[in-house]
Amino acid sequence: MFTKILIANRGEIACRVIATAHKMGIQTVAVYSEADKEARHVQLADEAVLIGPAASRESYLVADKIIAAAKATGAQAIHPGYGFLSENAEFSKRCEDEGIAFIGPRHFSIAAMGDKIESKKLAGAAGVNCIPGVNDAIETAEKAVEIAKGIGYPVMIKASAGGGGKGLRVAFNDKEAFEGFTSCRNEARNSFGDDRVFIEKFVEEPRHIEIQVLGDSHGNVVYLNERECSIQRRHQKVIEEAPSPFISEATRKAMGEQAVQLAKAVKYQSAGTVEFVVGKDQSFYFLEMNTRLQVEHPVTEAITGLDLVEMMIRVAAGEKLPIEQKDVQRNGWSIECRINAEDPFRNFLPSTGRLVRFQTPRQTMFQGNTTDLYGVRVDTGVQDGGEIPMFYDSMIAKLIVHGKDRNDAIAKMREALNGFVIRGISSNIPFQAALLAHPRFVSGDFNTGFIAEQYSQGFRAEDVPHDDHDFLAALAAFVRRKSRERAANLSGQLPGYDVKVGQDYAVVELGKAGHNRYVPVHVAEFSGKHGEAHITVNGKTYAIASNSRLNDIRIEGTCNGQPFTAQIERGTLKNPLALQVQHNGTRIEALVMSPRMAELHKLMPYKAPPDLSRFVLSPMPGLLVDVSVQPGQKVQAGERVAVIEAMKMENVLFAAQDGVVKKVVAAKGESLTVDQMIVEFE
């Protein structure tokens, strides 16, 4: 067994590998870019080596620097995590040539499966169901349109070296096929240095279901059940679960056996995933094989009780798999939510900056521990006060729960999301909460088009229906009442000017454009204890009890005897005196005041925000990679104005209306902040 390994990655996956290595008594070496010098994985590792500037192409993607770091520190093996060099056959071979063990598959397996065109041919030869399409690289957009017509729309245009949603488009007509081909080639060339593109039939109402496989160097391969990954937004997975609520035992067995056949055909060693697209009739077709550990591996660890990172390390050290197929378990139900640094209410634009507050829900399951299950686990590479840089992807944490069945897992996840505190940047937690409460998700009736269908107009605050909205008002009144109680108990108050606690309040829920909701609330003690009160809202009574302190951002307690977790924050952008209450994905901003003050508040005029239609503003922090207009130029509505890049994604800004450019304020190559002016129109 190795005594020291280097992790050629960053963020949560680097922390994940470190956890298992330490459990096994193996020392760890972290590598980091200049942007990551304060990162959590650097602090957790036994040693850390700086490998270059922030840009990944100058640090995490430079094989020479990583191998030099391994040699300098005496690491006998390298774990690549996922992304970066994890599926780079040349890097795997280079490690082998340098006498360093690669904790992943052999280079020939990566090469065979890394090329999506060649992998389909191999899969077909191994007896795996393959999707109709043309598996040869296509040279021109015109040829792409001709092929697409021959297969029949809709078709999927994919970069051969693609991954993570990059270099992938779905086309429903000739125009989309032509444009999609061009976009895929450009994205693939920029992201992977390989612009080969192919086309295949797009299966309608498809499910994305993948089989986890595990192989060793002695020819043994097992499959560890499946993961349901159909909840996707723009081909990026959002929620994953194991097992799938859709497939039958017969389909599970058939898919698993085909995955094993393919793994054996390429002499696969280590953990890997065979991805399938599954039609509504349970017909399934091979998509690709990911020759690495997957982001969503924890859900498989929960239901099987196996530490996949440990298995990878043991296989790389030459050990045999400790289990056979008959030993693979499937206990309970596990769900994972990817917590991303993005603003769901602003079309999921990336959100970077400092984590002013970062508190995870209480964990009872931990990385590398497959004994304490049926609880909550958080995999993250960040911490309170840490920085979310613009140079890497947007995922900041993975929230994993394990329940006795699917409904139990959903309930645990909803409560865990309530207790996940992220401040300073925006996160997709409200969106995750809305998905988990959606009737179609709860019933298991969804496919890969679910998010696009249900949120076709984007995601709005009203898309997060709370099952009891008045509870939020009751909670705001409860917190305000606790605050008044504390103020009333302060000594030395002047007679006649002392604070009165009172029982009648008005909760003013601040709405858009001055449309506020006024709710009368009555608060009364029901036990004589501080932290307990009966609150009446719209004829309903809420008996709330909580020992949380007033400065706690997370409030825990019971309401009518049922436990709850919510978040309360004092002071908002709209009003420094308001309370922000967040529960089950719904967030309200509310003022809690006396009934007389509420009457006067209604008379206050609404101050409209300034008209910014003459300006193009940066919707997010990022790098201005292109400005397509110049002063004096006439621009039509919908015309491209600028391109901003952040977190490996390009965002194109278009003109909202016709106009003439007065001046270009920001220069190409400039780092922008949110709402920074780029272009002004006359």
Q: Given pLDDT bands bounded at 50, 70 and 90, which one contains residue 645?
A: confident
Q: Which residues are CB-contacts of 497 (< 8 A; sequence separation ≥ 6)?
A: none
449-473, pLDDT tens digit by residue? 999 999 988 998 778 878 899 999 9
Select from 52, 87, 103 the last residue of a domain. 103
- Which residue of the set 210, 226, 241, 288 is catalytic? 288
Specify the pairing of strand 421-423 against strand 504-509: unpaired
190-229, pLDDT tens digit by residue? 777 888 888 988 887 899 999 999 999 999 999 999 999 9
| Helix, strand, or coil (residue 576) | coil
Q: Which of 101-105, 255-259, 298-302, 644-648 has the lowest mean pLDDT?
A: 644-648
pTM of the model: 0.86
447 and 558 in a single domain? The answer is: no
Q: Given pLDDT bands bounded at 50, 70 and 90, which one contains residue 496?
A: confident
- Transcribe 532-564 into DSSP letters: EEEEEETTEEEEEE----TT-SEEEEEETTEEE
153-186, pLDDT tens digit by residue? 889 898 887 666 678 899 999 999 999 998 898 8
144 and 186 in a single domain? The answer is: yes
Burial class (CB in 10 A: 0-12, 13-18, 19+), 117: middle
For residue 43, pLDDT over 80 is answered with yes
The per-residue pLDDT for 461 is: 79
367-383, pLDDT tens digit by residue? 999 999 999 999 999 99
332 and 433 in a single domain? The answer is: yes
136 and 179 in a single domain? The answer is: yes
In whole angstroms, give the CA distance from residue 579 to residue 285.
51
Omega before 154 within 30 of 0, i.e. cis: yes
- Catalytic annotation present for 288: yes
212 and 339 in a single domain? The answer is: yes
For 186, the enclosing helix (H) or strand (E) is helix 174-192
The per-residue pLDDT for 460 is: 86
Query: How high does pLDDT run on average in the chain?
Result: 92
Residue 663 lies in a domain: yes
The per-residue pLDDT for 580 is: 92
The per-residue pLDDT for 163 is: 65
Residue 464 lies in a domain: no
Q: Indicate which CATH number applies to the domain containing 147.
A: 3.30.1490.20
Question: Number of structural domains, the chain?
Answer: 5
DSSP code for 130:
B
E-strand ranges in 234-269 read 236-242
Residue 109 lies in a domain: no
The per-residue pLDDT for 527 is: 66
Residue 201 has which token pair?
A: 């039939």
16 and 89 in a single domain? The answer is: yes
Residue 60 lies in a domain: yes
Cβ pair 506, 520 in contact under 8 A:
yes
508-530, pLDDT tens digit by residue? 999 888 889 999 999 987 666 77
Radius of gyration of the chain (CA): 27
Residue 494 lies in a domain: no
**Residue 343 domain boundaries:** 207-456
Of residues 430, 455, 232, 268, the one with CA closest to residue 344: 430
| Cα atoms in the Cβ-side hemisphere of radius 13 Å centred on 279 | 11
For residue 400, pLDDT over 90 is answered with yes
% of the chain with per-residue pLDDT over 90: 72
| Helix, strand, or coil (residue 432) | helix
634 and 567 in a single domain? The answer is: no
558 and 619 in a single domain? The answer is: no
Residue 562 lies in a domain: yes
Select from 579, 602, 625 the last residue of a domain. 602
Q: Which residues are CB-contacts of 437 (< 8 A; sequence separation ≥ 6)?
A: 414, 464, 465, 467, 584, 585
| Helix, strand, or coil (residue 373) | coil
162 and 185 in a single domain? The answer is: yes
523 and 570 in a single domain? The answer is: yes
For residue 610, pLDDT over 90 is answered with no
318 and 297 in a single domain? The answer is: yes
Residue 465 lies in a domain: no
The per-residue pLDDT for 162 is: 67
Q: Indicate which CATH number applies to the domain containing 30.
A: 3.40.50.20
271 and 405 in a single domain? The answer is: yes
Select from 147, 172, 201 the last residue of a domain. 201
127-136, pLDDT tens digit by residue? 999 887 777 7
402-457, pLDDT tens digit by residue? 999 999 999 999 999 999 999 999 999 999 999 999 999 999 999 999 999 999 88
Q: How far apart are the first and last CA of the chain?
A: 69
Residue 29 lies in a domain: yes
In whole angstroms, give the CA distance from residue 347 to residue 290.
29
Residue 396 has which token pair?
A: 């900041």
Q: Indicate which CATH number applies to the domain containing 620.
A: 2.40.50.100
The pLDDT of 86-93, averaged and rounded, is: 96
For residue 498, pLDDT over 90 is answered with no
For residue 292, pLDDT over 90 is answered with yes
99-147, pLDDT tens digit by residue? 999 999 999 999 999 887 789 889 999 999 988 777 778 889 999 999 9
Q: Please list the residues that pair with 564 across neighbouring strands.
A: 557
CB atoms within 10 A of CB 487: 13
Q: Indicate which CATH number applies to the domain containing 294.
A: 3.30.470.20
The per-residue pLDDT for 528 is: 64
In whole angstroms, give the CA distance from residue 146 to residue 134.
11
Q: Indicate which CATH number applies to the domain containing 475.
A: 3.30.700.30
Q: Given pLDDT bands bounded at 50, 70 and 90, which one contains residue 593?
A: very high
